[in-house]
Amino acid sequence: MFKAEPFVTRLAFLASDRPEAQEARIALIARYGEVPPNEAQVVVALGGDGFMLETLHDQMGGGHKPIYGMNRGSVGFLMNEYSEDGLLERISVAEKAVIHPLTMTAVDTYGKPHKALAINEVSLLRQTRQTAKLRISIDGKVRLNELSCDGAMVATPAGSTAYNLSAHGPIIPLDAKVLALTPISAFRPRRWRGALLAHTAKVSFDILEADKRPVSAVADNLEVRDVLEVHIAEDREISMYMLFDAGRSLEERMLAEQFSV
One DSSP character per residue, 208-254 reads: ETTTTS-EEEEETTEEE-SEEEEEEEE-TT--EEEEE-TT--HHHHH
Over residues 178-205, mean pLDDT: 96
Q: Quick one: pLDDT band at residue 2, thresholds 50, 70, 90?
A: very low
Residue 247: which region, alpha, beta or left (left: phi > 0; alpha: psi -120 to 50)? left
Residue-wise pLDDT tens digits, 70-111: 999 887 888 999 999 999 999 999 999 999 999 999 999 999
pLDDT of residue 258: 83
Known binding residue 161? Answer is yes
pLDDT of residue 77: 86
Over residues 136-162, mean pLDDT: 96
Known binding residue 63? Answer is no
Over residues 182-188, mean pLDDT: 95
Percent of the chain with pLDDT over 90: 81
pLDDT of residue 62: 61
Comma-separated ranges of CATH 2.60.200.30 domains in the chain: 102-234
Comma-separated ranges of CATH 3.40.50.10330 domains in the chain: 11-99+239-257
Known binding residue 164? Answer is yes
What's the CA gap between 231 and 221, in Å, rounded? 17
CATH fold for the domain made of 11-99+239-257: Rossmann fold (3.40.50)
Given a cut of 50, whether residue 38 has pLDDT beyond it is yes
Q: Dump strand ranges (E) for 88-177.
A: 95-99, 102-108, 113-118, 121-126, 132-138, 141-149, 151-155
pLDDT of residue 4: 46
Query: Is 49 tagged catalytic?
Result: yes
Mean pLDDT, rounded, of the chain: 92
Distances, alpha carbon 145 to alpha carbons 73, 100, 154, 206, 211, in Å? 42, 29, 17, 10, 18
Known binding residue 245? Answer is no
- Catalytic member of 49, 85, 206, 245: 49
Architecture of domain 102-234: Sandwich (2.60)
Given a cut of 60, whether residue 3 has pLDDT beyond it is no
Choice between 223 and 60, residue whose per-residue pLDDT is larger: 223
Which has the closest alpha carbon to 163: 194, 209, 139, 204? Answer: 194
Which has the closest alpha carbon to 23: 59, 48, 47? Answer: 47
